[in-house]
Structure 1
Amino acid sequence: MHTAEAHDTERTHQTPHPTRSPMPATYTFDRAQAADRAAILSIYHACVGLPGCTWGYDYPSAETIDHDLAHGWLYCLRQGDVIVGVVSVGNFGELTEGDIPWSAAQRPCEIGRIGVLPAAQGQGLGRRLLELALGVARRQGFDAMRLLVSPGNAPALALYRRAGFRTVGETDRYDIHWLCMELALRSMAGCSPAATCRAR
């Protein structure tokens, strides 16, 4: 299994929106640790019931977090000491079954379980998480990123489409109808964070 290197810890900067209250300019993005488990689960649970969210209190669960931690797939976006966003990225193997017409990518990865603390939503952190996750995938040498998204999750759909993801098919899983989306990646293995997707 390929793991992220030390330079997966990044500091990113944000220019405050003129109509919003001032906020710290620096965020830290790094691999989640066991000590982050409770905070991550709190974010997952806080997102349940939000428009477009398909999660329940049984998924993502504490067991999901432990699984992602064990494989090194789970990352956190921190504002100071507070985790404000989470994302999992790696070769989950969750989207290989079925007849989804994925591309012929040799080393695809998956992205999932993206969550932003509700109090921190509306500040572009979803886009920031996606950009940073793409940077992780590129540095690890993946050549495509795949995901499932609910057709009713308009904000997520807009985010992925702006990033260049294309819809390649549809599927029904977990009693939910999904769009299957994919983005071709150019490997940046060995590059420094400065050469990767930097939040703007």
Structure 2
Amino acid sequence: MSSAEIFLKKATAEDVDSVIKIYNAVKGGKFCVWNENYPTEEDARGDMEAGCLYVLIKDGETIGCASVEPVAEDDDLPFWQINDGTHRETSRIAISPAHQGKGYAKLMVSLLISELKKDGVSSVHLLAAKENPPALHTYISLGFEIIGECFRYGHDYYVCEKLL
């Protein structure tokens, strides 16, 4: 990773096209379980409008994105240690293919965790596809714990949580 200007920010309407490009670029990649139907432009726009979409910017270019939701469909899983409204679920985490393998996902999730701590969030939930060992390694290196397993959206996932 270079010493370039890198920062995380909440996405604006101007960022949505870049997010969609990242979504489409990673679909079909080696570890990605996304398909042509997910995630969509509607997902990106909806997350942005709800203030839930973040982007990682490097030298003026959007190289990563993640969504953070206060209420998510995975809240019904029985494994969560904290599931009382003070938690957030992180999903749709992606780094553009040209920037993968360089530590940017770890940086982005770390910056996201820092923002959530400032906001008083008590824990972060996420599902890590079993088919994506690099992502799981990143999450574990950031202090996430595997607290269960589930089958959702046509794939097997590790249920991960980080208490803040």
TM category, shorter: over 0.9
Q: Give the paired residue count.
A: 163
Q: Is structure 2 residue 79 aligned with structure 1 residue 101?
A: yes
CA distance in 1, matches of 2:58, 2:140: 27
Alpha-carbon deviation of 1:90? 3.0
Note if contact 1:31-1:74 (Cα within 8 Å) is conserved in structure 2. Answer: yes
What is the Cα deviation at residue 114 of structure 1?
0.9
For residue 5 of structure 2, the aligned residue among 16, 26, 36 is: 26
Q: What displacement does 1:43 show?
A: 0.3
Instruction: Tell me if 1:132 matches 2:107.
Output: no
- Shift of residue 62, structure 1, vs aligned partner: 0.5
SS of 1:60's partner is: coil
Between 79-88 and 141-150, the greater mean CA deviation after superposition: 79-88
With normalisation by structure 1, the TM-score equals 0.77
| Secondary structure of residue in 1 paired with 2:88 | strand
Distance 1:163 1:66 in 2: 28
Instruction: State the distance in 2 between where 1:179 and 1:112 align.
Output: 13
Which position in structure 2 is the counterpart of 1:8? none
Counterpart AA for 2:15: D
Query: What residue identity is the alignment partner of 2:90?
Result: I
- The 8 Å contact of residues 67 and 92 in structure 2, kept in 1 or not, is answered as yes
User: Residues 97-146 of structure 1, C-alpha deviation per residue, up to 9 Å, x if partnerless?
Assistant: 24x32114541111111111111122210111110110121111110000
Asked if 1 retains the 8 angstrom alpha-carbon contact of 2:67 and 2:91, the reply is yes
- Aligned with 1:50: secondary structure? coil
Unaligned runs of 5+ in 2: none
- Cα pair 2:56 2:108 within 8 Å, conserved: yes
CA distance in 2, matches of 1:104, 1:77: 27
Q: Counterpart of 2:29 in structure 1: which amino acid?
A: L
Distance across 2 between alignment mates of 1:104 and 1:84 = 31
Structure 2 residue corresponding to 1:178, chosen from 154, 157, 163: 157
Provide the alpha-carbon RMSD of the alignment.
1.4
Shift, 1:88, TM fit = 1.2
Aligned partner of 1:115 in structure 2 is 94
What is the rounded CA distance, in whole Å, between the counterparts of 1:167 and 1:122 in structure 2?
A: 22
Instruction: Write the letter of the residue equivalent to 2:79.
Output: P
Instruction: Point out the structure with max Rg over C-alpha.
Output: 1
Residue in structure 1 matched with residue 128 of structure 2 by the alignment: 149
Of the candidates 41, 58, 70, which is equivalent to residue 62 of structure 1? 41
Give the match's secondary structure for 2:134: helix
Q: Answer 1 or 2: which has greater helix percent.
A: 2
Q: Which shows bigger deviation, 120-129 or 101-110? A: 101-110
List alignment gaps of at least 5 residues for structure 1: 1-13, 17-23, 186-200
TM-score (norm 2): 0.93
